[in-house]
Structure 1
């Protein structure tokens, strides 16, 4: 049955107002856009910086986008709304898997954090304590940032500023993979197929590259003193199974570390259900607790 033109117009207008996949609201415009934080082989790595209004030296949260390590852009920042809670937010780019295989991606992320610390006074935010948030592949990278602070093998030299720390003090992971070995057992289509995301990230199948797969899996890097962790994951996620987050929680708890898992009932891989006002409030309070120096 054909709908009247007026009804079609109203439905189209309504759809245009709905949140994008993985976003709670339309993207805010960055305060400073396309800042080059490093160059690797003539390739510029960039970030966008969102600053809250009327806030002096706001704490910093770094956002890392998803896209299976092969797509996505720093231009889509799922946590720019944190500026409403008084945080500065930096959304960073990193080399995708068709450009360079792992550990290039974590080297880039750590290079961005060092750069952001080195330029904190210039842009007016406080990078004494840095939080990170990421979705999907970005969730994997923030988990690694939270578990490899001060570990030379993950550091790299991207962007220089080697006198600055790349360690982070709080991690919010949205449905990121944490254990590629487990994933190769119950989701091999994501790890063994030459076209699969993990295969492309590692440059080969997990089952034939177990040492590299362990090196790239955050669950195997957890140690005492790692950053507090908040995970948000849908129980109907068919792309990254919920057991990836449950595995991370188990390892964190075994190490006596602070961790919380917020399961989204009926939630798939991303979508607005992960960014509802209560979810946003939970993430904001998590970062307030761990990043604001005047908060007990």
Structure 2
């Protein structure tokens, strides 16, 4: 079924230091039960971008029966880490607090992030309620737990990024990638990771550990779908492999999808699946079973929707 979509813009979910942070809600109309929610976290190296940077949220995936919430968070030029993850968790709590008003299912919230947003999605998914929460941002009676996570090419261990980075620079047509200064080493003082933490990453290993999603992995986390292009020159695919291996080592359900021929920030491209299918290697682990498929032909948005359908719609 394809739903008509109502968009509710500029909803304030918190106001750190008096600055309102906003989200937009894309709501399928006429659903006969509360709506599962997918929260979109934009990319941009934690220093550029806003909640408008991403695919068409009507199509991906409000018209398919999901409430889509595209949120903003404080950028690194405004506030250093952990402000960004505090904002993400405040948005999750706010959505739960507003579930009755907007017809949302507060027990079915998923995260979908691109690049820096993928890092924040993974971090929110691995920490869960009570870790890296700032309850001073409001809605203290509600949980920041989520039920599913899609991480698109997000960093997971800052100190391993340079060792596995590609040295050649690919031509990009994506505005997010064009502004990420891929010529910089991640250890440089002006890299996105260093600017997020307020110092060169090698000089603040304690902050790097705090910012790395893999630091917090334990058993019982929500299922993860991790997607990465094998031609990514901004964030090496090794970062996604690290996250996948750490998740399954603790017995969590996870899927890693490494895609031939794609670079960084592909989730921003509405026409992505029109140019597919793409050849991918897929690894899955969960419920005591493992699977490894080479050269599977996939459509990327279809795979994301199937993941959320399984874990948020239960079908």
Instruction: Tell me the TM-score normalized by structure 2.
Output: 0.80
Asked if residue 207 in structure 1 is aligned to residue 202 in structure 2, the reply is: yes
Per-residue deviation at 1:285? 1.3
Q: Report what 2:37 is aligned to.
A: 60
Bigger helix share: 1
Per-residue deviation at 1:29? 8.2
Runs of 5+ unmatched residues, structure 1 = 1-27
CA distance in structure 1 between the aligned counterparts of 2:5 and 2:35, rounded to whole angstroms? 18
CA distance in structure 2 between the aligned counterparts of 1:30 and 1:93, rounded to whole angstroms? 20
Secondary structure of the residue aligned to 2:28 is coil
Of structures 1 and 2, the larger Rg is shown by: 1
Closer/same/farther in 2, CA of residues 275 and 128 from structure 1, 3 Å limit: farther
Q: Report what 2:109 is aligned to.
A: 130
Counterpart contact for 2:189–2:201, Cα < 8 Å: no
Counterpart contact for 1:34–1:48, Cα < 8 Å: yes
Per-residue deviation at 1:189? 3.6
**Range that drifts further, 86-95 or 192-201:** 192-201
Per-residue deviation at 1:261? 1.2
Asked if residue 117 in structure 1 is aligned to residue 96 in structure 2, the reply is: yes
Alignment of 1:58-97 (within 5 A): 58-78=35-55, 80=57, 81-97=60-76
CA distance in structure 2 between the aligned counterparts of 1:228 and 1:274, rounded to whole angstroms? 27
Asked if residue 216 in structure 1 is aligned to residue 216 in structure 2, the reply is: no
Per-residue deviation at 1:151? 3.3
Asked if residue 169 in structure 1 is aligned to residue 190 in structure 2, the reply is: no
Per-residue deviation at 1:168? 0.6
CA distance in structure 2 between the aligned counterparts of 1:86 and 1:229, rounded to whole angstroms? 21
Asked if residue 142 in structure 1 is aligned to residue 121 in structure 2, the reply is: yes
Secondary structure of the residue aligned to 1:41 is helix
Question: Once superposed, which parts of structure 1, at least 4 consecutive aligned residues long, lie more than 6 Å away?
Answer: none
Bigger strand share: 2
Counterpart contact for 1:115–1:159, Cα < 8 Å: no
Per-residue deviation at 1:54? 2.2
Runs of 5+ unmatched residues, structure 2 = 166-182, 275-298
Counterpart contact for 1:97–1:200, Cα < 8 Å: yes
Deviations 1:6-54 (CA, angstroms, capped at 9, x unpaired)? xxxxxxxxxxxxxxxxxxxxxx986100111111112110000001132
Q: Report what 1:159 is aligned to.
A: 137
Per-residue deviation at 1:208? 1.0
Match of 2:308 among 278, 287, 290: 287
Instruction: Tell me the TM-score normalized by structure 1.
Output: 0.85
CA distance in structure 2 between the aligned counterparts of 1:276 and 1:90, rounded to whole angstroms? 22
